[in-house]
Amino acid sequence: MSRCWMMVRNSTISPEKLRLYCSGHIIYSFRRSFPRRKFLSGCYSSHFHITKEKHERSFTSAVSSQDTLIDHKLFDEMRNRDNKTVESSYMFVRDLLRSSMIRAEAETPRSIHCFALKSGFLQDLHASSKLLTLYGKAGDFVSSLGLFSELKVKDVIVWNSVITALNQNGRSMAALGFFVEMIQKGTGFDSTTLLLALSASSSLSLSKVCPVVHCLAIEAGLVSDANLCNALMNLYAQGEDLSSAERVFTRMEHRDVVSWNTIVTKCVANGQYWKSLEYFKSMTVSGQEADNVTFSSVISACASLEELSLGESFHGMVIRSGYVPEGYVSVANSIISMYSKCGDIDAAETVFGKLFWKDVISWNAILNGFASNGMFQEAFGIFKEMQSLNRIHPDISTVVTVASICGDMCLSREGRSIHGYTVRREMQSRALVVVNSLIDMYGKCGLTRQAELLFKIATDRDLVSWNSMISAFVQNGFTQEAKTLFKEVVSEYSRSKFSLSTVLAILPSCCSSDSLIFGKSVHCWQLKLGFGNNILSANSVINMYIGCRDLTSAFLLLEMISETRDLASWNSVIYGCASNGHHSESLRAFRAMSHEGKVSHDIITLLGTISACGNLGLVSEGRCFHGLAIKTLRESETQLQNTLITMYGRCKDIDSAVKVFGLISDPNLCSWNCVISTLSQNKAGPEAVQLFRKIEVEPNEITFVGLLSASSQLGSTGYGMQAHCYLIRRGFQANPFICAALVDMYSSCGRVETGMKVFRNSGVRSIAAWNSVISAYGFHGMGEKAMELFNEMSISGMEPNKSTFISLLSACSHSGTILPKHNDNLRVREFTFRHFQPEISLSFGHGWVLVPSVRLYFLSTFLWSLSNLPTKEEPLRTQY
């Protein structure tokens, strides 16, 4: 440009040539400095500025050429309007607004606004409404409001334009405010106005607005508008008022495919699956053809109902109607989910494999299918295959699913990898559901501290986060921390925001008699929240009372929900009582359930009753329940068969236990442990050792506890030492139960000192290990060493139990040695008679152990014990 000005000064070239030369120079500079689109826009602008006579059409060309940015100086240079150019300017403004509506950017509406002001067409309502809408599309709703306030005349279209602009920019509440103001001023409204109001209400989930808009539509005679009726149905159903949505649908004169899709989809969303299928049937009868949205909805209904045959029929209809799943990915995704939920994962995989184009929803559908059907390895394979594709990236739903799989399988290493992936993708800051799923995953993997750290650093926590953290504490035994966290969440949130999940998360922490008061507080709290009639909450409270040993309250609550109680309620009592040692009450509850006759038993019921029979030694009743399991075709359940083996073993019927084991088609590790423990506990050591040789799975600590007990019965340390070497190689020797079993095995085989070495070398000494060593010394007549070991146990802080009492008295009886009077004897006396005598039922056998031992210590204690021994005429009285 400097060379152009030099040529003008020297006057060496004509003005026409000068303009031509300068324009070429400007074009060359634009071409070097900007991309192609800006280069073309620059050419138009440069041509306008160097043109000698600037006509209005030149302004039009310059403005229309600006694709991304319009120079305001162009409008400033334009001369004021005259009558000759009014019509052409109006046409230009109209065309410019129409073309700008396609692609609105921040500077475009401002430039057109300036031109409209120059041209004097801003008061034209059509142009003003278009400009308002253009501001809304450009995201500048503030300028849209400013323009709206300056307009003196406002018709329905102008009002609709400003409400549209607010809706487009997420200002739904302000849009409703303008709608109310519009009605109050009596401007009038049309169906578009009501549609905009319904759209704003839907964004805010204000279903209460729907009846008001519906009344306005009826008064104005607009209910014949199909689009308005569809929007009314949508908002009614969104507010869970499906009956009102159905009334709108039935009164429609003309129903299009959107109307049918709306009612079918909303029925599915509100859980009315059979009703959605009925509407689909009516749709086909009326002659309206279904589209991909319709098929996706009805197939989702079949998935929720788990109606495989019906879903297969719809699959065939999809193919016959031309909506081939390979082409319509949304329909294919619904079919994959349907087959997965119905358990036919092979069909789901087939549909997935035939998809030509798979989106992230398709991958998530098959991933969830494998996970929900317990095929976790296949799910991980799908996830790895998904990661290998460059065009498909795992989204939030994928991460949540995989994190849940890692938690269910206790795969902490893979779970940490998922956590790292979310950090790299910055998913935690974008979606709280990711943080909640990771907390749940760490809790299920036993990594409570990691879950707690993630919970503390979460910037925005919701109620699900608190519930997940409370569940993580409860699942890993940190009941006190769970209760503390529960108190914090109660003080932080208002009562109306709590859900049933909070109640279900905290109640399992009340699992002992010490937690009864806290459990009753939670029970009162959930009643205040209005969950008293909820059957899930009631069942959880029943479990809590049983765990806290308050059977009276548990049975009272079961009686209070007699109208709504289901099989889960009875199972809570039956299985809960059996698990907590109340075996007679478990059988009593089963008889009451059978007498009522409203529900039938399932495998959980049988597990509780069979376990109760085993602990009570009721072999005949146990056989009856075994027959009931065969009659109801539940005998093939491996878990039930394992319980039967344990029951027969406790009833001393090892032949029946072995027969049940032989009927198991694919015995798992628990099956092998049950039968080996049964044989060893019934003094069938050789059979247990022979069965161990045939084991088909990798043994664990429980397997070797049974094997060591069986080896001790053989009187030889051969098998025991071999097992000991294997345990050392596997690193199981640190287990306190293994240590106790090794000590018992070596002492039973006469190698007390070897057992003592094992005990001394153990890192963690359990009460079972202490009792085994004390019993071993007593059995071999080493009463003094048994007493010394008891003193050492007391000094170490280990709390004795009833087995310690029996082992110590047995050691004193076998040794036959009067120990010198010492303060240690007072500890024995205080321990035995002050703490445990009221809790032990003294049989004649225990009495003959007790009398010699007391004779060796205190004659007065002996006389007291002798006077309190039961006689043949006096029945045994058990004190509790």
pLDDT at 798: 74
pLDDT at 124: 66
Confidence of residue 856 (pLDDT cuts 50, 70, 90): very low
State whether 277 and 312 are in the same domain.
yes
Answer whether residue 63 shows pLDDT above 70. no
Beta strand residue intervals within 814-876, DSSP E: none
Answer whether residue 645 shows pLDDT above 50. yes
Residues near 514 by beta carbon (within 8 Å), at least 6 away in sequence: none
State whether 244 and 265 are in the same domain.
no
State whether 339 and 358 are in the same domain.
yes
Percent of the chain whose pLDDT exceeds 70: 76
Instruction: Report how far residue 680's alpha carbon sits from residue 538's, in angstroms, rounded to the nearest whole number.
Output: 41
Q: What is the pLDDT of residues 171-182, one digit of tens each?
A: 888 888 888 888
Beta strand residue intervals within 465-596, DSSP E: none
Answer whether residue 336 shows pLDDT above 70. yes
pLDDT at 94: 55
CATH code (residue 260): 1.25.40
Please tell me the least confidently modeled range out of 11-20, 320-329, 599-608.
11-20
Confidence of residue 387 (pLDDT cuts 50, 70, 90): confident
Domain limits at 319? Answer: 255-374
C-alpha distances in angstroms, 316 versus 319, 322, 328, 450, 625? Answer: 5, 10, 14, 49, 45
pLDDT at 870: 54
Please tell me the least confidently modeled range out of 47-61, 91-105, 323-337, 472-486.
47-61
| Structure tokens that stand for 129 in this block | 């409404």
Instruction: Report how far residue 633's alpha carbon sits from residue 833's, in angstroms, rounded to the nearest whole number.
Output: 52
Specify the higher pLDDT residue, 763 or 864: 763
Buried b (16+ CB within 10 A) or exposed e, 537-565: bbbbbbbbbbbbebbebbbebbeebeeeb
Q: What is the mean pLDDT of residues 387-398?
A: 83
Specify the higher pLDDT residue, 523 or 143: 523
pLDDT at 516: 92
| Structure tokens that stand for 112 in this block | 């057109």
Q: What is the mean pLDDT of residues 224-252?
A: 90
- Residue type at 378? E
Instruction: Report how far residue 356's alpha carbon sits from residue 377's, in angstroms, rounded to the nearest whole number.
Output: 24
pLDDT at 694: 87
Confidence of residue 674 (pLDDT cuts 50, 70, 90): very high
Neighbours of 176 (CB within 10 A): 21
Instruction: Report how far residue 874's alpha carbon sits from residue 408's, in angstroms, rounded to the nearest whole number.
Output: 56
Residue 701 host element (H or E): helix 701-714
Three-class secondary structure of residue 817 per DSSP? coil
- Residue type at 618? L
Answer whether residue 776 shows pLDDT above 50. yes
Contact (Cβ atoms closer than 8 angstroms) between residue 572 and residue 539: yes
Specify the higher pLDDT residue, 710 or 851: 710
Instruction: Report how far residue 73's alpha carbon sits from residue 118's, in angstroms, rounded to the nearest whole number.
Output: 12
Quick check: is 383 in a domain?
Answer: no
User: What is the number of structural domains in the chain?
Assistant: 3
Specify the higher pLDDT residue, 719 or 73: 719
Neighbours of 269 (CB within 10 A): 16
Please tell me the least confidently modeled range out of 95-99, 254-258, 801-805.
95-99
Instruction: Report how far residue 358's alpha carbon sits from residue 750's, in angstroms, rounded to the nearest whole number.
Output: 70
pLDDT at 465: 92
pLDDT at 114: 72
Angular region, 859: left φ>0, alpha ψ -120 to 50, beta rest = alpha
R_g of the chain, CA atoms, integer Å: 41
State whether 342 and 421 are in the same domain.
no
Quick check: is 398 in a domain?
Answer: yes
Residue 810 host element (H or E): helix 802-815
- Residue type at 815? S
Confidence of residue 866 (pLDDT cuts 50, 70, 90): very low
Specify the higher pLDDT residue, 70 or 375: 375
Please tell me the least confidently modeled range out of 310-319, 773-782, 837-846.
837-846
Specify the higher pLDDT residue, 18 or 265: 265
Quick check: is 328 in a domain?
Answer: yes
Answer whether residue 588 shows pLDDT above 70. yes
State whether 239 and 262 are in the same domain.
no
Q: What is the dihedral of CA 532, 537, 542, 546, to 10 degrees?
A: -130
State whether 249 and 339 are in the same domain.
no
pLDDT at 649: 92
Specify the higher pLDDT residue, 69 or 568: 568
Contact (Cβ atoms closer than 8 angstroms) between residue 162 and residue 148: yes
Residues near 715 by beta carbon (within 8 Å), at least 6 away in sequence: 748, 749
State whether 273 and 241 are in the same domain.
no
* Residue from 183, 202, 204, 262 nearest 229 by CA: 262
| Residue 644 burial (10 A CB sphere; 0-12, 13-18, 19+) | buried
What distance lies between CA 608 and its chain's CA centroid? 28
Instruction: Report how far residue 625's alpha carbon sits from residue 122's, in angstroms, rounded to the nearest whole number.
Output: 88
Please tell me the least confidently modeled range out of 94-98, 361-365, 427-431, 574-578.
94-98
Instruction: Report how far residue 544's alpha carbon sits from residue 525's, in angstroms, rounded to the nearest whole number.
Output: 14
Q: What is the mean pLDDT of residues 127-134?
A: 73
Residue where one domain finishes, among candidates 207, 225, 253 = 253
| Structure tokens that stand for 90 in this block | 């109006």
Instruction: Report how far residue 130's alpha carbon sits from residue 483's, in angstroms, rounded to the nearest whole number.
Output: 60
Quick check: is 275 in a domain?
Answer: yes
pLDDT at 790: 77
* Residue from 331, 403, 391 nearest 367 by CA: 403
pLDDT at 867: 58
Confidence of residue 121 (pLDDT cuts 50, 70, 90): low
Quick check: is 613 in a domain?
Answer: no
Quick check: is 151 in a domain?
Answer: no
Answer whether residue 579 shows pLDDT above 80. yes
State whether 238 and 259 are in the same domain.
no
pLDDT at 845: 41
Residue-level length of the chain: 880
pLDDT at 326: 58
pLDDT at 162: 83
State whether 195 and 293 are in the same domain.
no
State whether 262 and 349 are in the same domain.
yes
Three-class secondary structure of residue 859 per DSSP? helix
The Cβ-side half-sphere exposure at 662, using a 13 Å CA radius, reads 6
| Residue 698 burial (10 A CB sphere; 0-12, 13-18, 19+) | exposed
Buried b (16+ CB within 10 A) or exposed e, 415-444: bbebbebbeebebbeebbbbbbbbbbbbbb
Confidence of residue 203 (pLDDT cuts 50, 70, 90): confident
Residue where one domain finishes, among candidates 343, 374, 405 = 374
Give residue for tokens 């909640």.
436
The secondary structure of 43-74 as a DSSP string is: HHHHHHHH-SS--HHHHHHHHHH-SS---HHH
Confidence of residue 98 (pLDDT cuts 50, 70, 90): low
Instruction: Report how far residue 172's alpha carbon sits from residue 164's, in angstroms, rounded to the nearest whole number.
Output: 9
Contact (Cβ atoms closer than 8 angstroms) between residue 167 and residue 200: yes
Answer whether residue 324 shows pLDDT above 70. no
Answer whether residue 366 shows pLDDT above 90. yes
C-alpha distances in angstroms, 767 versus 288, 757, 762, 764? Answer: 76, 17, 13, 10
Residues near 293 by beta carbon (within 8 Å), at least 6 away in sequence: 261, 265, 330
Residue where one domain finishes, among candidates 444, 461, 478 = 461
Instruction: Report how far residue 625's alpha carbon sits from residue 648's, in angstroms, rounded to the nearest whole number.
Output: 12
CA 345, 351, 353: angle at the middle one, nearest 5? 100
pLDDT at 879: 36
Quick check: is 504 in a domain?
Answer: no
Give residue for tokens 């090794």.
742
State whether 242 and 270 are in the same domain.
no
Percent of the chain whose pLDDT exceeds 90: 29
- Residue-averaged pLDDT of the chain: 77
State whether 285 and 365 are in the same domain.
yes
Contact (Cβ atoms closer than 8 angstroms) between residue 175 and residue 169: no
This prediction's pTM: 0.67
pLDDT at 26: 37
Neighbours of 122 (CB within 10 A): 17
What percentage of the chain's residues is helix, strand, coil (to nearest 5)? 75, 0, 25
Q: What is the pLDDT of residues 515-546, one digit of tens each?
A: 999 999 999 998 988 888 889 999 999 999 99
Three-class secondary structure of residue 288 per DSSP? coil
Instruction: Report how far residue 299's alpha carbon sits from residue 322's, in angstroms, rounded to the nearest whole number.
Output: 16
Instruction: Report how far residue 198's alpha carbon sits from residue 76's, in angstroms, rounded to the nearest whole number.
Output: 42
C-alpha distances in angstroms, 383 versus 360, 387, 439? Answer: 11, 6, 21
Quick check: is 56 in a domain?
Answer: no
pLDDT at 156: 84
- Residue type at 817? T
Answer whether residue 599 shows pLDDT above 50. yes
Neighbours of 345 (CB within 10 A): 20
Instruction: Report how far residue 356's alpha carbon sits from residue 338's, in angstroms, rounded to the nearest whole number.
Output: 19
Neighbours of 844 (CB within 10 A): 12
DSSP conformational letter for 390? S
pLDDT at 541: 93
